[in-house]
Chain A
Amino acid sequence: MYLVYFSYSNCNGYLLVKGSTIWYLQRCSSIFIFIYIIYVVVFIISSLPIAFNEWFLFKSSLLFKLSTTTAFLSILVHAYIGLWTIGTDYLTPRTLGFLNFTLSKIADTSRLLYNILFTVLGLLLYFYLLLLVWI
């Protein structure tokens, strides 16, 4: 909830979350994603050529389901922070104003839409993935 609120405003919202929290989230999520990739790659390499059975067992294991859920949550968080940073760097009245005065006037609205867009897309993709993994 914190992060969601903080994406819609860069004036008051950013005071709610500490820079260090974001820093840790970025690092921890990337480490987890890295470990997850190794876990999957090791499975694939160690069981080449993969038979359907083996793959089926692997993907039905609780470990795989839990780690996939967490890994994609990490990707979601990681991407969210990155995209939020890009938005507050480039979609602002100041930065767009370097290009064009009219653009700078619609900067705040475009940033809001951009934030909503990637939040909604990210969540949709994530729920779709949960369906694939758990059902």
Chain B
Amino acid sequence: MLNINIYRYNPEQDKFPYMMNYEIEKPEKDIMVLDLLHLLKENDPSLSFRRSCREGVCGSDGMSINGKNGLACITALSDALKGDRLDIRPLPGLPVIRDLVVDMTQFYNQYEKIKPFLQNDTTPPEQERLQSPADRDKLDGLYECILCACCSTSCPSFWWNPDKFVGPAALLQAYRFLADTRDLEKDSRLDDLADPFSVYRCHGIMNCVAACPKGLNPNKAIGEIKTMLLKGKSSKNIIASDGVTA
């Protein structure tokens, strides 16, 4: 028998959130935590959680699994269980809409703030703005983020100041555009991050690195941004006429 405790809260009925206990026969095969949630939902349709791709691509089922943030769909039950016990809670620090479903507004606001798009006002070349393979390699480890929020919601600095500290996920994306040779707004991007909160609230606790289900390293990206800020203004990239950075 598995001893499963799930955070439940339905604001229409419950005054306070509570942990609900479920007992279920241990499945013969090793399944993912998301599969287990579906098994439980068969008997208790009121149990709410988000999911979509069920293969670690969409980033919608981030949750706290036995105290560690991760994607339920790619976390094997055998890895998550402590003995026979499994505690599942919503991502910490964000307002709970219902059960395991959290309100991600604060998280997305920070993402919006870093302007997650290429800024380049030069005339686009006929086909596309080219990059050298070496320049393209600089984006590896950055573009793969699926915005699941496992990192930001495991970061104490983000818990305390989610309105002022940009948080590891959005900072990883900020660096993704700072590192892109096709982007021409490095200075204004850095200006937007120069205050004492946006980047500097990161104290290198590294929870983000431990949490990321895609194996990314926001802390390293944050370090790169800090170096850029400490060095001061960048010299603008010189763009050759074919759009390749000279």
Binding site for B on A (CB under 8 A): 6, 10, 14-15, 17-20, 22-24, 88-90, 92, 94-95
CB pairs A–B below 8 angstroms (10 shown): A14-B195, A18-B195, A19-B193, A19-B195, A19-B199, A20-B200, A22-B200, A23-B230, A92-B160, A94-B161
**With A14-B195, A18-B195, A20-B230 known to touch, is A89 a contact of B200 (CB < 8 Å)?**
no
Which of B157, B164, B194 is close to A20, meaning CB atoms less than 8 Å apart?
B194
Distance (whole angstroms) from the CB of B224 to the closest CB of chain A:
14
Neighbouring B residues of A14 by C-beta, 8 Å: 164, 195-197
The B interface is mostly helix, strand or loop, or mixed, namely loop
- A19 engages B160 (CB within 8 Å): no
Bound-state CA distance A27–B195 (Å) is 17
Chain B residue numbers with a CB within 8 Å of A23 are 200, 226, 230
A95 to B160, CA, bound (A): 6
Report yes or no: A19 in contact with B196, Cβ–Cβ below 8 A.
Answer: yes
Query: In whole angstroms, how far apart are the Cα atoms of A22 and B229 in the complex?
Result: 12
Chain A interface, >50% SS class: helix
Q: How far is the CB of B163 from chain A (nearest CB, A)?
A: 8
Chain B interface: which size bin?
Answer: 10 to 19
Is B194 a contact partner of A89 (Cβ separation < 8 A)?
no
CB neighbours (8 Å) of B156 from chain A are 89
A19 with B200: CB separation less than 8 A? yes
* Min C-beta distance of A23 to chain B, whole Å: 6
Q: CB distance A89 to B196 under 8 Å?
A: no
Are B161 and A19 neighbours in the complex by a CB distance under 8 Å? no
B153 within 8 A of A: no
A17 to B198, CA, bound (A): 13
List of B residues within 8 angstroms of A92 by Cβ: 160-161
Which residue of A15, A18, A90 has the most chain B CB atoms within 10 A of its CB atom? A18
Nearest-Cβ distance from residue B200 to partner chain A, whole angstroms: 4
Across the interface, which residues of A come within 8 angstroms of B162, CB to CB?
A: 94
Kindly state the separation between the CA atoms of A89 and B157 in the bound complex, as whole angstroms. 7
Complex interface: chain B residues within 8 A of A89 (CB) = 156-157, 160-161
Chain A residue contacts of B193, Cβ below 8 A:
19
Q: A19-B199, A89-B161, A92-B161 are known; give 16 further A-B pairs, CB within 8 A.
A: A14-B196, A18-B196, A19-B193, A19-B195, A19-B196, A19-B197, A20-B229, A20-B230, A22-B196, A23-B200, A23-B230, A24-B230, A88-B160, A89-B156, A92-B160, A95-B159
- Contact check, B194 vs A18: say whether CB atoms are below 8 A apart: yes
Closest to B190 in A: A20
| B 186-239 contacts with A by CB, 8 A | 193-200, 226, 229-230
CB of B197 to closest CB in A, whole Å: 6
CA distance A95 to B156 in the complex (A): 11
